[in-house]
Structure 1
Amino acid sequence: MTAVAGVRPRAARRWAAGRRWLSRVPYAVLALYVVVGGAGPLLIDYNPVRVALDDRLLAPGTRLAAGGIAWFGTDGLGRDVLAQVVYGARTSVIIGVATVVVSCLIGVTVGVAAGYFRGWLDTVLARGIDILLAFPAILLTIVIAGAFERSVLVVVTALSATAWISFARVTRGVALSVRERAFIDAARVLGVRPAQILVRHIVPLTAGPVVALATLEFALVVLAEAGLSFLGIGLPNSAVSWGQTIANGKQYLETAWWISALPGVALSLLIINIGILGDQLTARYGRGHLR
Structure 2
Amino acid sequence: MTAVAAGRRLVVGGRWLGRIPYIVLALYVVAGGIGPLLIDYNPVRVSLDDRLLGPGSQVASGAIAWFGTDGLGRDVLAQVVYGARTSVIIGVSTVVVSCLIGVSVGIVAGYFRGWPDMALARGIDILLAFPAILLTIVIAGAFERSVVVVVTALSATAWISFARVTRGVALSVRERAFIDAARVLGVRPVSILVRHILPLTVGPVVALATLEFALVVLAEAGLSFLGIGLPNSAVSWGQTIANGKQYLETAWWISALPGIALSLLIVNIGILGDQLTARHGRGHLR
Interval of TM-score (by shorter of Structure 1 and Structure 2):
over 0.9
1:46 maps to 41
Q: Deviations over 1:116-154 (max 9, x none)?
A: 000001001001101111111000000000000000000
1:17 maps to 12
Q: Which of 122, 127, 130 is the matching residue for 1:127?
A: 122
Q: TM-score, normalised by structure 1?
A: 0.97
1:56 aligns with 2:55: no
2:104 maps to 109
1:148 maps to 143
Q: Deviations over 1:252-271 (max 9, x none)?
A: 00000000000000000000
1:65 aligns with 2:65: no
Q: Deviations over 1:93-115 (max 9, x none)?
A: 00000000000000000000000
1:93 maps to 88
Cα distance in structure 2, aligned partners of 1:157 and 1:43: 31
User: Following superposition of structure 1 onto structure 2, how do residues 28-39 of structure 1 map, counting pairs within 5 Å?
Assistant: 28-39=23-34
1:243 aligns with 2:244: no
User: Following superposition of structure 1 onto structure 2, how do residues 167-186 of structure 1 map, counting pairs within 5 Å?
Assistant: 167-186=162-181
1:3 maps to none
Cα distance in structure 2, aligned partners of 1:198 and 1:66: 60
2:190 maps to 195
Q: Aligned to 1:233, what secondary structure does the other structure show? A: coil
Cα distance in structure 1, aligned partners of 2:25 and 2:147: 22
Kindly provide the amino acid, as one letter, of the partner of residue 133 in structure 1.
L
State the 1:191 CA deviation. 0.1
Q: Which of 213, 216, 235 is the matching residue for 1:221?
A: 216
Kindly provide the amino acid, as one letter, of the partner of residue 97 in structure 1.
V
Q: Where do 5+ consecutive residues of structure 2 fail to align?
A: none
Cα distance in structure 1, aligned partners of 2:116 and 2:47: 58
Cα distance in structure 1, aligned partners of 2:109 and 2:5: 52
Cα distance in structure 1, aligned partners of 2:253 and 2:205: 37
Cα distance in structure 1, aligned partners of 2:158 and 2:282: 19
Cα distance in structure 1, aligned partners of 2:243 and 2:173: 51
| Count of paired positions | 284
Q: 1:288 to 1:155 in 2, by over 3 A?
A: farther
State the 1:287 CA deviation. 8.8
The runs of at least 4 aligned residues of structure 1 exceeding 4 Å deviation read none
Cα distance in structure 2, aligned partners of 1:281 and 1:245: 32
State the 1:176 CA deviation. 0.1
State the 1:286 CA deviation. 1.7
Cα distance in structure 2, aligned partners of 1:169 and 1:41: 38
State the 1:288 CA deviation. 11
State the 1:8 CA deviation. 1.0
Cα distance in structure 2, aligned partners of 1:250 and 1:58: 16
Q: Aligned to 2:235, what secondary structure does the other structure show? A: coil
Kindly provide the amino acid, as one letter, of the partner of residue 150 in structure 2.
V
Kindly provide the amino acid, as one letter, of the partner of residue 259 in structure 2.
G
Q: 1:175 to 1:287 in 2, by over 3 A?
A: farther
Kindly provide the amino acid, as one letter, of the partner of residue 123 in structure 1.
M
State the 1:7 CA deviation. 1.1
Cα distance in structure 1, aligned partners of 2:282 and 2:62: 54
State the 1:240 CA deviation. 0.1
Cα distance in structure 1, aligned partners of 2:47 and 2:184: 73
